[in-house]
Structure 1
Amino acid sequence: MSQSQTKKFIITSVICFLTATYAFSEKQRIVTIGGAATEAVFALGHGDEVIATDLSSTYPPEVRDLPQVGYIRSISPEGILSMKPDLVVATESLGPPAAKDLLKKTGVEILWLPEPNSYQALEASINEVAETLDSENKANAVLAKVKSQIDQAQANSEKWSSPAPRVLFFMRPPNASSPGMAGGNGTRADELIRLAGGTNAANSITGFQPMSAESIIEMNPDIILVALSNGHGGTEASIVELQNLETLAPVAAIQNDAIHGVPLDDIAFGPRLGEAVERWNGLFALRNAD
């Protein structure tokens, strides 16, 4: 090879190397829709590529400083497209249907994740995000931690001397003037109660439904959980009001002071699912303490 050919080869090699390095290191512009989707991207180390989220995405804290493109169940495709994303990561909860259909026709790459309602859905979501963003090793670590936390909680519950506690979850607790909104079969709350070692006292209903005082007394839960969130769930004050409702005085959870506030995003079913299971399992264990 002549000197000129060698020089040309070296220059070409350097250019190819720099081009490949740039392409590899270039960050994507990612828009995430849904708390579980947002948390998955951040947990896998790509949070610095997220340029916008939706209103249901509240964790990690830094997402609150990002632009928001609406709420997951009432998304405006125009808001998403205005961010000029390279990739949209969204759960199947995105709606309304017309908005979902329109997004699919835009040509923007969209990674659709399963409805976040079980460990299996979380596992699938983490693996899909990891494959898309080349983060398989981190995915294995995230899922191993979650699985370990769930297994430990279920092992704890097997040691309880009493039957599994009957648990009633309120998205919005009842008060003197209105019924509560309780989670029945098919809700994430129902699945989380099961994972944490409890039984859903509202298993006679499906979805989230208003719950009258008469129904609560009939269900007679051992434990009542109230979702706490600014503007969407209950508050510490609403728990106190619930505790003091004379109409619910016969309920076991009221009599035993077993009403607990839990973060609303416990039912997000993102990478922190194991933490939520541990938290609820710990509250259930109080009933079985000597």
Structure 2
Amino acid sequence: MNKIAHHITVCAYLLVLLCVSCKQTKQDNHIVIDSNTRIVSLSGTTTEVLCALGLQDKIVGVDVTSTYPDAVKQLPKVGHNRNMSAEAIIALKPTIVIGIQENIKPQLAEQIQSAHVTLLSFPLQYSVAGAKELIAHLADTLGYADKGVVLTKEIDSDENAKIAQEKQPNVLFIYARGAGTLMAAGNNTSASSMIDLAGGKNAANGFDDFKPITAESLVAANPDVILMFDSGLQSLGGVDGLLQIPGVAQTNAGKNKRVIEMDGQFLTGFGPRTGKAIAALSKMLHEISVH
């Protein structure tokens, strides 16, 4: 056998080994979903999309933000979407791992891929267009493009139920995990985007991302409405506990007890329920502002 033939034979052999080692096959640039598919979802948003596509029975593990639909709460957890354990993920023997790009650290991606597991990561922009793009991209990649089209159309239909605000209320989103962890959502956050989409105005618009709350900053922001995750408000002991936070009682929201609580994944997930979340928040803003 000459050297060229030998190299061809070796390359062909290595290619066969590579194909055998891959746990998930591709066909026409799409991932093939079959009876052996095992998915770990690293985001509550991607989990929602997968379930909406009819792939819930293929999911074997999720991150802690995956709370919808209720059935996924019973699945094994692999950590928070910003602090994942590669060992916990790989232990579930997935064929595919799916998540949001900004939440998957390079080291985690390398560890997953080193285990010969297909890793799919998608960008997510906090907008209606961003939600629809994520759904369409994920659906197409998995060979469910037609279902993806249906889901994106439902977002538009759901958003049409939004109530226009007669007066744009100043809304402050507070992230809380007890009185010791209180953060205000600034610009370029999912909470700020949802406030804008529902017809409100972010009361904390002088900074990006999240910033610790002080009594002075609360009084300066003087929101008409305070918006929180239901779990965050519960961690403070409800509205009465929130009013004990220095500065809250001095705001318009505090004086009038105008507080809105919503499920965290529903409010800021920007998945298939985006239109419903916008409509729901707009309705609550309208009702709380006119009373």
Report the AA paired with residue 253 of structure 2: A
Mapping of 1:155-194 within 5 angstroms? Answer: 156-157=163-164, 160-162=165-167, 164-172=168-176, 175=179, 178=180, 180-194=182-196
> How many Å apart are 1:188 and its aligned residue?
0.4
Rounded Cα–Cα distance in structure 2 between residues aligned with 1:248 and 1:105: 50
For 2:177 and 2:140, the matched residues in 1 are separated by 41
C-alpha separation between the residues in 2 aligned to 1:24 and 1:261? 38
1:87 matched residue in structure 2: 96
The alpha carbon displacement at 1:70 in A equals 2.4
Q: Which amino acid aligns with 1:161?
A: E
| Distance change (3 Å), C-alpha of 1:214 and 1:47 | same
- One-letter amino acid of the structure 1 residue matched with residue 283 of structure 2: G
RMSD, aligned CA: 2.3
1:104-149 per-residue CA deviation (whole Å, 9 max, x = no partner) reads: 4443212111135332222122112211222222212211111222
Query: Could you say which residue in structure 2 is the equivalent of 1:286?
Result: 287
Name segments (4+ residues, structure 1) moved above 6 Å: none
Q: CA deviation at 1:247?
A: 4.1
- TM-score using structure 2 length: 0.80
Moved more, 265-274 or 43-52: 265-274
Change (3 A) 1:174 1:215: farther
Equivalent pairs counted in the alignment come to 258
* Residues 91 and 114 in structure 1, CA contact (< 8 A), matched pair in contact too: yes
Q: Secondary structure at the match of 1:152?
A: coil
Please tell me whether the aligned partners of residues 186 and 206 of structure 2 are also in contact (alpha carbons under 8 angstroms): yes
* Aligned CA distance change for structure 1 residues 161 and 119 (closer, same or farther; 3 Å): closer
Q: 1:24 to 1:120 in 2, by over 3 A?
A: closer
- What amino acid does structure 2 have at the position aligned with 1:167? V
**Residue type matched to 1:280 in 2?**
L
Corresponding position of 1:17: none
Change (3 A) 1:183 1:108: same
* Higher-Rg member (1/2): 1
Q: Deviation per CA, 1:205-227: give whole Å up to 9, x if none.
A: 21111111111111111110121
| 2:65 is aligned with 1:56 | yes
Q: Partners in 2 of 1:51 and 1:165 — Cα distance?
A: 42
Verify the 8 A CA contact 1:179 1:213 in the aligned structure 2: no
**Residue 75 of structure 1: how far off its partner (Å):** 1.5
Cα distance, 1:95 vs structure 2: 3.8
Give the AA of the match of 2:202: N
Question: Match for 2:106 among 93, 97, 106?
Answer: 97
Equivalent position of 1:223 in the other structure: 225
Given that residues 34 and 93 in structure 1 are in contact (C-alpha distance below 8 angstroms), is that contact kept between their aligned partners in structure 2?
Answer: no
The answer as to 2:270 corresponding to 1:269 is: yes
1:243 CA drift (Å) = 2.9
Gaps of 5+ in 2: 1-31
Residue segments in structure 1 that go unaligned for 5+ positions in a row: 1-22
Comparing 245-254 and 120-129, the one that deviates more = 245-254
Change (3 A) 1:250 1:132: same
State the match for 2:74 in structure 1.
Answer: 65
The 1:173/1:79 distance shift into structure 2, 3 A limit, reads closer
Is contact 1:228-1:234 (8 Å) kept?
Answer: yes
Secondary structure at 1:52's aligned position in 2?
strand
User: Percent of pairs identical after alignment?
Assistant: 31
Match 1:201 to one of 200, 203, 207: 203
